[in-house]
Structure 1
């Protein structure tokens, strides 16, 4: 994650160029990385909702698809929001370490002053535009997963 104000300013500008979404320093999401059954006492903890064994890996990337933070220790049955709730990055945002900067994420996460998700039922043109901007700003993390999985196929 960007540690100083200068780095944050550059990343914020790069995200702003995408869809005019202000103050964003990262796009957050999780992806499942397939594994063989871990065996042991609790192998079913690693079976995800799609039925295969995996790690649920949390990634925060910048607008250029550079991974800024990665957490790879949670079994596949873990929910994305729970992984973030127990992350060091969340704790740093809670204490104001990143100032007024924020992250964008999908609707599987709860809204926080530093974590912006799409509106669940947009009605007005402004709300639809907000969701479109939020989605386009969040897109780099989705593209990052695509590049990652194509480069390192299972």
Structure 2
């Protein structure tokens, strides 16, 4: 089987308001146990490697198989962290060992009356057979922000 070598670029911005203080939303990202609980640590996941090193230059690794499907692997490096203000990462995704994308993601935390506005901006480069996967990444990120909302409530 020949793989068509090509690149695709996709970007999106998601904004979500949460009815809790910035410090509470921040902790959901900055504390490893909290992050793991809302990022999908449940009975439907078969967990693989997990690394959480929340500091500039630190790495996150999250590997799992969802409902017996393909093995997904996320590897991120924190490039900028300003407490209660922003988190910036670069990250790579693999699916069953095939490198599918490289992305830059920024999370901005803004205090609102009675809560927090979280803005997630991302730009990804998708490789070869995954060239059309950008809309799925946005949909998956939207689902994670929904899971965060459930976690915070």
Q: State the TM-score, normalizing by the size of structure 2.
A: 0.29
Q: Which structure has greater strand proportion?
A: 2
Q: Which structure has greater helix proportion?
A: 1
Q: State the TM-score, normalizing by the size of structure 1.
A: 0.28
Return the structure number with greater relative CO, CA threshold 8 A, min gap 6. Answer: 2
